[in-house]
Structure formats: structure tokens, C-alpha cells
Chains A and B, each alone.
Chain A
């Protein structure tokens, strides 16, 4: 009996171990998701940083990406888009920003991957009619 009890004890322990192993998985998944959110958020800024530090290079011209620009600000459909366009053109030398889709004018190093995104705030020219929220707008660059 002593032997069987001991064996049963070990088996129960093993089952408990497996149970714990399975039970902690959702926790680990949740943590992983949390990390991913942060990493995505960070990497979007990294992409921005890459975009900002772009230099003309000898990258493969066949892999020219395009960038879609998405703004929360409806005003950007008209006059203020021009200012934003100018600002972005100053920041990013190798892209030609146009209203709507931004087309790449020259090849840029480091941006041939698909699905890259950059989100950041852009300050707009003063317009008291649009205060307070439209002095700044969130811009999303989607690099295809």
C-alpha cells in the first residue's frame, strides 16, 4: 500500500505540475501581448526616427516603397495640408509628399519593408478658428 500511495502521490504531483503549466499560459500570453503593444508603440517611433534620418542611398530602386499619410485632421485636406507637406518635405529629404498618397521620389535606405508604420504629432500653423484641438494633429505614415 505504501508503494502505491507513494506512486499515486507522485502521479498527482505530476498532474498538478502539468495543470499549473497550462494555467499560467494565459498569464504569459497576456504579458506577451502587453509587451507587444509597447514594442509596437516604440517601433512606430523607431520607424519615425528611421524616416527622419533617411539619407539618399544606393538602395535597390526597384523596391521603392510608397507612403500613405493618414491624418485625424480634416483641415489637412485643404490649405493646411500644404504646410504639413512642406514640413514633412523638410524632415524627410528623399520623399516627395503630395496631398493624399505620398510617392517616393528617390530611393531611401531602410524602408523597403512592408507594413511599417510611424505615428506622430505634427504642429500646424496657428488658426484660432480651430482651437484647441486642431493646433496639432496625429499623423500616421504607413510605409508599403
Chain B
């Protein structure tokens, strides 16, 4: 009885120890699972934060590349997305795109949204950008991209993973870009809209025409007044010289200033003159041609041979008698010169080149192109 009790107690004790051990093991396992689950969640959240950080980091170069491309495309056409604009047509400056900042911002927004779509994937929701602002700063252009819903609230970037986490952050992106697109447009406006250097160049070229080609005084018979001929004799092909001077004056405008290269290509130059004359008539002059005349018939003796054949024959002769001669005239020929030019203006920012697409992707300068037509009306 005593021995049986001992075995029973031993087995009972061992079983108790086993049960307690198993219990402790399961409790420990549950605790471990709980700790590991917490660990998973923590790691997942860190992973999500990293994804969000990378997403925000990638949106900045995306905005930069979008602004580079938009700047290139908009500047290339003088502020439009189509053919280069004509900013000035003589005094008419309605061709200047006063909304160029909006055009630039909108093109940037369209490209940025393409990037935004490309950055989205399962678990990453990007935003559709609704507004771009570009402001000129001392060391570049500050560009911001905003994404708002129809109620005017900020849209968010969302990074999520099943039920583990859902992270949100504002989709707003801003970046200071070392570019001078706005500076180029401002320089172009100041140079060719606020002022008219092409018109001035034509005026300056006109001033180079010698005085003897502006007014020529001649004494001539009134029927021989030829101001064009006089001009041609004294001044040669003066219209062509005028054209040449206009071209020179326009070319002298080309320069590099503030690291912006200004090129002006004359597409068409027109030069002509208008002639007027002031005539003072003197008396008729026998040195001049006859103006009014009549013919006179008089009898003359016939040759003997003709009289032998016909003794009754009467021979006559006819002569012209001038009744009035042309007058001498003192003529003052005056010449006015008119020139005009259609030019293609290129303003190139030499500071930096940017990776932009134009048939191929390459490093290119931002170049502002537009046309100007002007002259001395």
C-alpha cells in the first residue's frame, strides 16, 4: 500500500510537471506569437513609411523633369504649344502671350500627372495634380504642385497594405529648380514688347541714307523730268543699300548678356522708296523738244527732167514748223524710304542644359523663340 502510493505519487507528480510544462510552453508560444505579430506590424509600418518616403522623394524629380519639358516646349513656341507666336506686328503687341505662365504651368501639370500615374501601383495611390505655381526666385524657379478635390481639400498620397496599415500624406510637391524660363520670357518681353528694337534698327538704317539720295535738284526740259533716273544715276541701287543697312543694324543687336544669348535671324527684309517732285516751270526753251508744231507746204522749182516730161507739173516741199517748245523746269526730286523686317528671335539660356524630349531625349538648353515684324511706317 505504501509502495503503490509512492508510484502513484511519482507518476502523478511527473504528469503534473508535464502538464505545467506544456501549459507554460503554450502560454510562451502565445506570447511569442503575439510579440511576433506586433513585430510584423511594426516592420510593415516601417516598410510603409519607407515606401511613402521614396514616393515623395520620386515626386520631386518627376516635378523637375515635368517643368524642364514644359519649359522647353512652351519656350520653343514663344509661349504657345503650337507654332512660334509673333509677339509684335509693328505697333500691335497682342501676339505676346500674357498668359505664358499659365500655359507653362498647365503643360507641367499634364506631364506631372503622367509621372504620378506611373508611380502608382498596388498599395500605392498617387494623386491627380490640379494646380501648378511657378515663381521666380534669385537662384532658380520655385515650382509647387497642388492636388485638390472638388471641395478644395488637399488630396493625399496613400500607401496601404491589407489590414496592416494605411498611411496618408499630403500630395503637395514643391521644388526649387535651377532654371530661368520665367527670366527668359521677362527678358524677351522687356526687349521686344516694351521696346521695338527692330523698328529702331530700321529707323537707324534709314538715317544712314545720304542726303543727296533724299533730295535731288535738276534743271530739265519739262518732258524729260525723270526723278527715278536721277536717283539711279546718283545713288545706284539705293533700296538694296537700305536693305543691307537694315540687316546690319539688326545683326548688331545680337549679343550675350547675363548668360542669355540673343540671336536674331532676318527672315524677310523689305525696302522701298516713294518719290515726289516739286517743279517750277520757266519759259519755253528752243533747246528743248518741240511741243506743238505744224507742217507747211511751199512750191519749189521742179527739176528740168520732170518739166520736160510734164511742163505743167507743180512741185512742192513740206516742212515742220514748231509753234511751241517745251519749257525748262527747275525740279526738286524728293525721296522717302520705307523699310520693314520680319525676324525670328532666339533667346537661349546658356546657364544649364536639361534632359528633355524632342524626337529623342537629350541635354538641351531652354530656348525662347518668337517672331517680330516691324519697320518705319
Contact = CB atoms under 8 A, between A and B. Distances in A.
Among A32, A39, A42, A131, chain B packs the most CB atoms within 10 A around the CB of A42
A78 to B, nearest CB: 10
Contacts of A70: none
Given A121-B58, A125-B65, A35 B39 contact: yes
A31 B29 CA distance: 13
A128 interface: yes
B18 interface: yes
Q: How large is the interface on A (under 10, 10 to 19, 20 to 34, 35 or more residues)?
A: 35 or more
B83 interface: no
A87 interface: yes
A6 to B, nearest CB: 7
A127 interface: yes
Interface in A123-139: 123-129, 131-133, 135-136
Interface string B1-17: 00010011001101100
A42 B36 CA distance: 16
Nearest to B50: A45
Nearest to A135: B118
Contacts of B114: 126, 131-132, 135
Interface in A20-35: 20-21, 24, 28, 31-32, 34-35
Contacts of B50: 42, 45-46, 49
Interface residues of B, number: 44
Given A3-B4, A21-B25, A125-B65, A14 B54 contact: no
Contacts of B66: 126
B36 A31 contact: yes
Given A131-B114, A136-B119, A42 B43 contact: yes
Interface of A: 3, 6-7, 10, 13-14, 17, 20-21, 24, 28, 31-32, 34-35, 38-39, 41-42, 45-46, 48-49, 79-80, 83, 87, 120-129, 131-133, 135-136
11 contacts: A7-B15, A10-B15, A35-B39, A38-B47, A41-B47, A42-B46, A125-B65, A126-B69, A131-B118, A135-B62, A135-B118
